[in-house]
Amino acid sequence: MNQRLGSREQESGKQFDGFSSSKGFSPFPNELFSELLTEIDNLAELKVTLYALWLVANREGASHPLFMSDFIEEIDAEQIAEGLKACVERGSLLRVTLEASEDVYFINSPRGRASAKTVQDGQWLPSPKNNRSPLIRSNIFKLYEENIGALTPLIAETLKDAEEEYENERIAEAIELAVKANARSWRYVEVILKRWKEEGYGKKQNRQDDQKNRSRYTKDKYADFFD
């Protein structure tokens, strides 16, 4: 029997603590809200749909094959099977049956359809062993990419360390100062953060003059951080 969205038979009793500013957000296609959510009334299908979209949005690479094993940690096995079947029947997911491996699924998008065709034509044999864990991007990652540059593995590790040492709000403001000062580098941002940590956050009026700030953060013992 399908489990309906309105059912309250299973309640964990755990109160949600709320969304945080550090976990970031994942993009979802507009059709999810304009079409699918008005039609889906099966909880298993909804879970699989949302989780599949989240996996694709947060994985590196271009093809994004999905396997049943990708859902195991987050969704009950019975619901996975039911949800995948419902998604294929609705057309939100494409399924390619492989002889020597478990079925592979793709989001029904232009890229997903092209990837599914390469598998059907025998040009590519995806394997669940090659699937990487989702790269969960925080808001700081997004700010860095939008304002400073490409996110390399080394920079990603550096940003993770910075999030543990500094408040996200301070990192975001330091990035903003770097942009205003036309000094788009992590080294500049890091110097600002270190100075705030050593000398205190300071008064806002002292951070409004960008040229003054640039001079302040590039002299004395901090000069070696800059080209």
What are 78-131's pLDDT values in tens digits?
Answer: 999 999 999 999 999 999 998 877 899 999 999 999 999 999 999 999 988 877
Confidence check: pLDDT of 221 > 70: no
Tell me what pLDDT residue 81 has.
96
How far apart, in Å, are the Cα atoms of 23 and each of 26, 74, 163, 166?
10, 17, 11, 15
- CATH architecture assignment, domain 30-130: Orthogonal Bundle (1.10)
CA nearest to 206, candidates 184, 186, 177: 177
**CA torsion, points 136, 142, 148, 152, in degrees to nearest 10?**
20
User: Domain locations in the chain?
Assistant: 30-130, 139-225
| pLDDT at position 188 over 90 | yes
The 10s digit of each residue's pLDDT in 7-21 is 444 455 689 888 876
